[in-house]
Amino acid sequence: MSQDHLDARRRQILDGARSCFARYGYEGATVRRLEEATGLSRGAIFHHFRDKESLFLALAEDDVLRMAEVVAAQGLVQVMRELLSSPAGTGDTLSPADWLGTRLEVSRRLRTDPEFRARWAERSEQLTVATRERLLRQREAGKLRDDVDVHVLTAFLELVLEGLVSHLAMGLPADDMDPVLDLVEETVRRHRRSG
C-alpha cells in the first residue's frame, strides 16, 4: 500500500473512532462498535493502532494538533469560536459533539487514570506552548496587554476553554457565547491609554 493510502486509512479510522468515542465513551466503544463506526475490521484498525488506548490517545492528540494550528494562526479564542460554530466535522474543523465527546472522555480519564494523566501531559503541552507563543507574538506586536505575565494569560485562556467545555457538557445554550468570547478577547488585549 502507498503512504497516501495508509494515511487515508488512518484518517478513516480516526474519524470513525471519534464519533464512536463521542457516542459511547471510552468504555462503551467496543471493538465491534469501532468496526461499525470505521467500516473496517479489527485487523485493519489494530494494524494502525496497537490497542484501543493507543487509538484514543492518537485521536485526542490529533484534536490537540488541530487546535494548536488554529491557536498559532488565530489564537485560543478562535478555537472556542470554531467549537461553537462548526456544524459538522469537515476535515479541518471538528464538530462540537465529536470534539466535546473526546474532550470529556479525556477529562474523565485524567481524573481517574494516573497513567493516562502522565501520557496526556506530554501531548497537551503542545496546546499550551502554541497559546503562549501566540500571546508572545501578540505582545511583541503591541496588541497584548503588558501588565500581566504571559503565563498567567495562557492559564486564563485555558480555564475559559475548560469552562466552555463544561458549559457545553451540561447542555447549556451555545448561541449566546459570542459576547462572552468577545469579552475574553478584550480582556487580554492591550488598551490604549487616553490622555
Please give the pLDDT value at position 193: 58
Looking from the CA of 185 toward its CB, the CA atoms found within 13 Å total 15
Task: Encode burial over 59-74: b for 16+ CB neighbours within 10 A, e otherwise.
Answer: bbbbbbebbbebbeee
Please give the pLDDT value at position 92: 47
Please give the pLDDT value at position 86: 57
SS3 of 173, please? coil
Please give the pLDDT value at position 96: 60
Looking at CATH, the fold of the domain delimited by 51-188 is given as Tetracycline Repressor; domain 2 (1.10.357)
- Residue whose cell numbers read 476553554: 161
pLDDT in tens, 98-116: 677 778 888 888 888 888 8
Please give the pLDDT value at position 61: 85
Please give the pLDDT value at position 184: 96
Query: What DSSP character marks residue 170?
Result: T
Q: First CA to last CA across the chain, in angstroms? A: 67
Please give the pLDDT value at position 172: 82
Q: With a cut of 50, which residues of the chain have pLDDT below it?
A: 88-93, 195
- Residue whose cell numbers read 468496526: 35
Q: How far apart are CA 153 and CA 157, in angstroms?
A: 6
Which residue in 106, 109, 124, 94 sits closest to 19, CA to CA?
94
Tell me the β-bridge partners of 144. 189
Q: Is 51 exposed, middle or buried (0-12, 13-18, 19+ CB in 10 A)?
A: exposed
In the chain, % of residues over pLDDT 90: 47
Across all residues in the chain, what is the average pLDDT? 86
